[in-house]
Amino acid sequence: MLRAQENERRTLARELHDEVGQSLSAILMETEGAESADPPREIREHLDSIRTLAEKTVAQVRDLALLLRPSMLDDLGLTPALKWQAREVTKRTGLNVVVSAAEGADHLPEEHQTCIYRLVQEAINNSVRHARARTVQVSVRCERDRVSVTVQDDGAGFDSRYVRGLGLLGMEERVRRLGGRLRIDSRGGKGTLIAVELPVVELARGNGYEVDSHTAG
């Protein structure tokens, strides 16, 4: 079901970008062409309104497509996608998101990259919506036969023994599906730590990875 969901998101994102995005771009081109013909003032004002609305809609469609499935996750890998996510969250909310990802993260199997991206996405969203955090630190480290992911915020925290929303259940399901382990350490006023370990057979053939850091803000 998770694989089908990601494939559906990928298809929807591409349809939005390719079909809807191109149609809106055509409207913009036609509007600009009509404006260049020096129409009467009243018509020019209507054309200005159409162009402004089309530009706003193009931006909304682009953002929606990226939220559904960022193309850079498929084209460039996990690290660029996480850094993009950090920048977008910081720009939108003011939350400072710090990403530290091992070089080998971009060579993980596709399902592992998707799992990590969605887990970090949900954790950051929780920090924004519920924790009133100021900073979130994301770390992805590749070891010999596994990848470790931590997301730490400095927010309000919660009692993890009793709070299990759909977001946390979704994290657990994704991690369990890949044979991994998830740990949540949170207390009121002490922030929240989400730690995940995923086994990766392919990494056993590697020789270690450098660590690359990025701070959004």
pLDDT at 209: 39
Q: For residue 155, what are the CA distances in angstroms to 16, 87, 151, 152?
A: 35, 19, 12, 9
Q: Which of 68, 102, 125 is the last residue of a domain?
A: 68
Whether 82 and 61 share a structural domain: no
Whether 54 and 91 share a structural domain: no
Whether 119 and 36 share a structural domain: no
| pLDDT in single tens digits along all 217 residues of the chain | 666 676 677 667 667 666 776 787 788 888 888 888 888 888 888 888 888 888 888 777 766 766 666 677 888 899 999 998 899 899 889 999 999 999 889 989 988 998 999 899 889 988 888 778 899 999 999 988 899 999 999 988 876 655 555 567 888 888 998 999 999 998 777 899 999 999 997 655 554 433 333 444 4
- Cα angle at 142 between 2 and 186, to 5 degrees? 70
Whether 131 and 30 share a structural domain: no
Whether 119 and 24 share a structural domain: no
DSSP H or E stretch at residue 209: none
Whether 140 and 50 share a structural domain: no
Domain count within the chain:
2
pLDDT at 164: 56
Q: For residue 58, what are the CA distances in angstroms to 13, 22, 51, 160, 210?
A: 13, 9, 10, 40, 38
Q: For residue 37, what are the CA distances in angstroms to 5, 40, 47, 50?
A: 47, 9, 12, 16
Cα of first residue to Cα of last residue in the chain, in angstroms, is 36
- Cα angle at 103 between 99 and 105, to 5 degrees? 75
- Residues 6 or more apart whose Cβ sits within 8 Å of residue 129: none
| CATH code of residue 104 | 3.30.565.10
> Whole-model pTM?
0.66
- Which tokens sit at 87? 């920048």
Whether 151 and 87 share a structural domain: yes
- Which tokens sit at 1? 């079901």
Beta bridge partners of 70: none
pLDDT at 37: 81
Distance CA 124, CA 133 (A): 10
Whether 89 and 194 share a structural domain: yes
pLDDT at 76: 84
Beta bridge partners of 137: 98, 152
Q: Which of 33, 48, 68 is the last residue of a domain?
A: 68
pLDDT at 43: 87
Whether 111 and 49 share a structural domain: no
Residue type, 118: R
pLDDT at 95: 93
Whether 119 and 203 share a structural domain: yes
Domain residue limits at 26: 2-68
Whether 96 and 194 share a structural domain: yes
Whether 54 and 79 share a structural domain: no
Q: Which of 14, 42, 68 is the last residue of a domain?
A: 68
